[in-house]
Chain A
């Protein structure tokens, strides 16, 4: 039976797979960055299918919005470099990487399909709608996980200062 959920999942998953391959294989870093934005948008759609509303919105704002703008900004600050085609330069290394990737992928697939996950887990739609809301996440962040939350804020402050110091014109 084909439901709307399955159709939407297929579309988003296809976009995510194709764009992630294109991120890795394109020569021009700007095109890679734009495909990465597309990948993040497709992932946000998949998060919505999983009833994780808060994470889907944060994904678009933080990843597709803030982080990728930073990436594009830095790419445009630097001089473009001409990299060779995917298999032209050092093809041995690339085949080695593809082999390693393939082996790990089949290990993961084997574990996923022979772990009998489907029989153990069924998506409980009502419950997953309740846990994905801003209220549920916010309640967790400000009660049980308050100290990690404050530590994350401190980490961001340290990262901002660190980035400023590192990108300064002259080191003292």
Chain B
């Protein structure tokens, strides 16, 4: 029997890795992958609590999170392609036309 803390610590660690990735990386695609990492960490917490509480609502919510993640990655990657067409770079430090 594995205590619930193990799953939650794994989830927290993955979330923090995603946060550090978003804050430090310059490549827009890797920033995107870090966001997927954070979504997955949240999913792991949902499934853990769902399983430990004996209630399937957590797993239903994970289903919806996955739907939104798929939609988000399709639109986000399309935006990255459009950016690359216009600026010939996906370095987020060089994409600053909205900077005030």
Which residues of A does B touch, CB under 8 Å?
Answer: 3, 5-6, 9, 13, 16-17, 20-21, 23-24, 29, 32-33, 36, 39-40, 43, 46-47, 49-52, 54-55, 58-59, 62-63, 66-67, 70-71, 74-75, 77-79, 81, 83, 86, 89, 93-94, 96-98, 100-102, 104-105, 108-109, 112-113, 117-118, 121-124, 127-128, 131-132, 136-137, 140-141, 145, 148, 152, 155-156, 158-160, 162-164, 166-167, 169
Contacts and interface: CB of A to CB of B under 8 A. Distances in A.
A96 B23 CA distance: 9
A67 B70 contact: yes
A67 B36 contact: yes
Given A47-B47, A136-B56, A160 B20 contact: no
Contact of B7 (A5, A46, A63, A67): A46
A36 B63 contact: no
A13 B5 contact: no
B21 A112 contact: no
B64 A152 contact: yes
Contact of B1 (A39, A50, A94, A123): A123
Nearest to A168: B82
